Structures are given as C-alpha cells and as structure tokens.
Amino acid sequence: MISTESAQSAEQLPGRPPIVDLAAWQAARDELLIREKAHTREGDAIAAARRRLPMFEFDGKTEVVGPDGPVPFLDLFQGRDELLVYKHMWHDGAPHQGQCEGCTVAAWHLRDATYLNVRGVSLAIVTTGTWSEVAPFVEFMGYTTPWYSVRGLEEPVGGDMGVLTSYLRDGDRVFLTYYTTGRGTENHSGTFALLDMTPYGRREAWQETPEGWPEGNGPCWYWRADADGNGNADGSLWDRSRPAPQWTRPGATPEESLGRHEHCH
C-alpha cells in the first residue's frame, strides 16, 4: 500500500504549489501567520492615526434630497453622533444596468447597517443623480440603506463620487473626519477579502500568482455578468450584461444596450 506522503509526492500537479504532508503545510502556514499578524497590528496603528486626524467643520444644514424631499444633512445622522456615507457615482439618463458596477459592489455590501447602528453609527448613500432617477433605481435594487441626491453640492457633502466618507456630529455642528477612495473602499466590501483567501484570489491580471496558475483577467471582470452568470473577462459582454447583483432583482432581463460609454476603470 502506498503511503499518503508517497502518493502526494507522486501526484504533484503541474502549475500548482507543491503537495506536502500536514506537518509541512502547518509549518508554512505558521510562517505566513507571522506576516499576517504584523499586517493586522500595522492596520491597528493606522486606524489609531486615522482617529487623530484633524477635522473640517461645515454647515450641517446643507440640504440634500431624499424620499421626503429636501432635508438638512444633519438628518442623515438619524440622531446618532457618527455617520458613514458612501458616495455612489451616477450616469444621467442611463438605465439600471448602465449604472456604475464598481459602486454597485460597494452599495450591495452596505445593505444592512444593524451592527453599525448599535455602535452609534448611521449609514447613508449619496449620489449626484436627480432624485427622480435615483428613486426607481433604489427601488429596483431593493436597497434599504437611506439614499439621497447631492446634485450640485460641493465637498464635503457632494463633490467626487466613488468615495467613502466619515463624519462626526457635536450637537448641530458637523465635521468631516475621513475619506478614502479607490481600493481604500474595499474595507466595507467583504467579498474582496474573502476572494483573497481563495487559491485563485480575484483572478485579476495584476495579482502575483504561482507560475502556471490560471491567467488573470482584466480588473473588475466579475463585477458585471450576463444572464448565464459569465463574468465580463474579455469585455465582450458589455452589450448584454449587468452589475452582477442585478440578476437577483425581479424584472432583470438581458439587455441590448448599457445606455452609456464608460467602462470599468
């Protein structure tokens, strides 16, 4: 009878990491754990520095538009002292499937603020779209997070979209405390962290992967899919795809046009 170790050695898979016994695997895992713990501690130190950033005060009575019409930005706090806001990009006149797939990733991961609320933190999403366009999109997506239009408003209420911002309230005084964009917004999209734990990761071309690993695709190829669930790996599905979560929504059918020109970037 061939031992497990011998069988593993004889069955090394081309283009894959080596197959080893459990003791050797555990030793390699323990070595990586040292780096992971250092990474966690550095993240804690950065978070501590983030809490010490200076603040910018602005007029909390600045009006934004929601389902009940114009309301002061202060209302977004819902009586709490802390507020996180994701700023969702918007393409005027585009159909639902033509809205930003990257911001859809973010908003889809922000559908439930229960654990934020119990720690005294409110959550809202703002966008530059007119409320008449935003409202049916929010209904179609089934979002329960409060949405508001900040059309025509400057920073720190409006301004650039695709940004995660943090605010603090002290009575009627309101302060901007932090913002981040790009990959800085990945913290609230747990899918990225989970994919990074899988053998193939995100399957994107920028990744460093073992020699012989499946070839990476263009960035964000899996954010948009066709009706059969195929990710837009080569860009060929732009005329019949949607942001992936939209396929779970009632009435989502294959489309012939995205209604816009911009692609994921």
Place of tokens 């990257």: 102
Contact 236, 224 (CB under 8 A): no
Q: Which value, in Å, is the radius of gyration of the alpha carbons in the chain?
A: 22
Rounded to an integer, the average pLDDT of 111-129 is: 97
Instruction: Give the model's pLDDT for residue 1.
Output: 42
In terms of Cβ atoms closer than 10 Å to its own Cβ (0-12, 13-18, 19+), residue 150 is buried
Fold type of domain 56-187: Glutaredoxin (3.40.30)
Instruction: List pLDDT tens digits, range 187-246.
Output: 889 999 999 999 999 999 999 988 888 888 988 899 999 999 999 888 888 888 999 999
Instruction: List pLDDT tens digits, range 149-199.
Output: 999 999 999 999 999 999 999 999 999 999 999 999 998 899 999 999 999
User: Domain extents for the chain?
Assistant: 56-187
Instruction: Specify the amino acid at residue 46.
Output: I
- Judge whether residue 261 has pLDDT over 80: no
CB burial string 189-225: b at 16+ within 10 A, e below? beebeeeeeeeebbbbeeeeeeeebeebbeebbbbbb
Instruction: Give the model's pLDDT for residue 96.
Output: 94
Closest by CA position to 150, among listed 59, 65, 61, 57:
65
Which one has a higher pLDDT value, 15 or 64? 64
Please tell me the pTM assigned to this model: 0.91
Instruction: Give the model's pLDDT for residue 10.
Output: 54
Instruction: List pLDDT tens digits, range 29-88.
Output: 999 999 999 999 999 999 999 999 999 999 999 999 999 999 999 999 999 999 999 999
The end-to-end CA distance of the chain, in Å, is 55
Percentage above 70 pLDDT, the chain: 94
Place of tokens 């990945």: 186
User: Pairing state of beta strands 121-127 and 69-72?
Assistant: unpaired
